[in-house]
Structure 1
Amino acid sequence: MATKENRLEMLFISTISRGKGIGKALLQYAVTNFAVNEVDVNEQNKQAIGFYQRHGFRIYDHSELDGEGNPFPLLHMRLVDTNIDNQDNRVSAAD
């Protein structure tokens, strides 16, 4: 995990460790201790998008290029629900 100012720059959990609450715990730590409230996610990474949405983040913008200018579309997400324990926090198509 890495943060910069209010942004979560990276959060990687090994495949074997997923589903055990480690990502949630690290995200909660970053929000609580580093005031993290934004993250960029590769548009093709549906698993990560769902993870952040379940934990209160919502898409607020989109970029066709990543931060290095490469053609990897990013979704910019912002924390709108600080109750990270809320596991039923899904976005509907109407949102």
Structure 2
Amino acid sequence: MVERLASPAAHELDALTDLWERSVRATHDFLAPEDIPFFRRMVRQEALPAAEIYVIRDSGNGFAAFAGIGADRLEMLFVAPSARGKGLGRELVEHVAVHCGVRRVDVNEQNAQAAGFYARMGFRVVSRDALDPSGRPYPILHLER
């Protein structure tokens, strides 16, 4: 069941950041090791506080997956490694598309699993940037549906 975190507490933001890192370490093997602490700070201090957050909880009431949105854009979607392949990402994307009007997302070009997931969800590439927003050599695909 998808739940909106209206005003996430600091400990919830910390838990989401931890989930983000576990997910990234399992799926973003193209990142340089020194990039993870950089992005972790950005996620915790900037991205999460700025986004509208939707979560799916695990059986222990922790977080199994989360999505962050801004306007009609999916800003982030991360699933705990232990919860991958169970449809949680699909559930979150469908929820924010229907209830929040999300129709755009960016994805790392090197993350073939995520790009394939979004293609299966009906997103199509509309443009590409050679560098990520922080200027690192991780091309970004801009998708819409």
Normalised TM-score (structure 2): 0.53
Paired residue for 2:95?
Answer: 29
Larger Rg: 2
Task: For 1:24, give the aligned amino acid.
Answer: R
**Deviation, structure 1 residue 15:** 1.5
Within a 5 Å distance, the mapping from 1:39-54 to structure 2 comes to 39-54=105-120
Q: Which runs of 4+ in 1 moved over 3 A?
A: none
Q: Distance in 1 between matches of 2:133 and 2:95?
A: 25
Q: Distance in 2 between matches of 1:13 and 1:25?
A: 11
Q: How many residues align?
A: 79
| Root mean square deviation, CA, Å | 0.9
Task: For 2:142, give the aligned amino acid.
Answer: H
Q: Distance in 1 between matches of 2:105 and 2:94?
A: 13
**Deviation, structure 1 residue 38:** 0.6
**Larger relative CO (CA 8 A, sep 6+): 1 or 2?**
1
Q: Distance in 1 between matches of 2:86 and 2:73?
A: 24
Is residue 74 from structure 1 mapped to residue 125 from structure 2 by the alignment?
no
**Deviation, structure 1 residue 16:** 1.2
- C-alpha distance after superposition, 1:26-55 (max 9, x if no partner): 000110111110100001000000100001
Gaps of 5+ in 2: 1-66
Task: For 1:15, give the aligned amino acid.
Answer: P
Normalised TM-score (structure 1): 0.79
- Percent identical among aligned pairs is 46
Q: Secondary structure at the match of 1:77?
A: strand
Is residue 65 from structure 1 mapped to residue 131 from structure 2 by the alignment?
yes
**Deviation, structure 1 residue 65:** 1.4
Task: For 2:117, give the aligned amino acid.
Answer: F
Task: For 1:50, give the aligned amino acid.
Answer: G
Structure with more of its chain in helix, by fraction = 2
**Deviation, structure 1 residue 66:** 1.2
